[in-house]
Amino acid sequence: MTLDHVAIQTTDIAASVKWYVEHFDAQVLYQDASWAFLKMGGNKLALVDPRQHPAHVAVSVTGEQLEQASAAHGIKIDGHRDGTKGIYIKDPSGNAVELICYPPGETIYGKK
């Protein structure tokens, strides 16, 4: 399975986006007031508002893998406005891990 992205928390999305773009030529895939999605080289970094999203590691899974994990952990699958769906579980140290399933084809972020 593929590590899709990692999300870190930031108190000012706009200032952080500006900083990552200026320092590292990050490409902005998406941005609103509560989070932003950046691409740096082939990899993706999410910047999230701590009041709305946990810091997390996101692993890309198939629909079948997501259904299995949902059943195994007893956690209901959440659909997101962007067409992705997923669940959050915890690793042994309590880090949030999102299992994320992308819809077929393109998303608003471009090809996954």
Question: Which of the 8 DSSP states describes residue 109?
Answer: T
Question: Which of residues 91 and 106 has its CB atom nearest to a copy of itself in the complex?
Answer: 91
Tell me whether residue 64 or residue 81 sits nearer to a copy of itself (CB atom).
64
Quote the least distance from Cβ 87 to a copy of itself, whole Å: 12
**Smallest separation (angstroms) from a copy of itself to the CB of 82:** 20
Which of 51, 47, 112 shows the shortest CA–CA distance to 86? 112
Q: How far apart are CA 49 and CA 108, in angstroms?
A: 20
Minimum Å gap between C-beta 42 and a copy of itself is 7
What span, in angstroms and rounded, lies between the C-alpha atoms of 87 and 101? 9
Kindly give, in sequence order, each residue whose CB lies less than 8 Å from that of residue 46, ignoring residues fewer than 6 positions away. 5, 6, 7, 8, 35, 36, 37, 38, 53, 58
**Least distance from C-beta 74 to a copy of itself, angstroms?**
16
Closer by beta carbon to a copy of itself, 40 or else 81: 40
Q: Which residues contact a copy of itself (rule: CB under 8 A)?
A: 1-4, 6, 8-12, 15-16, 19-20, 24-25, 40-45, 57, 59-60, 91-93, 95
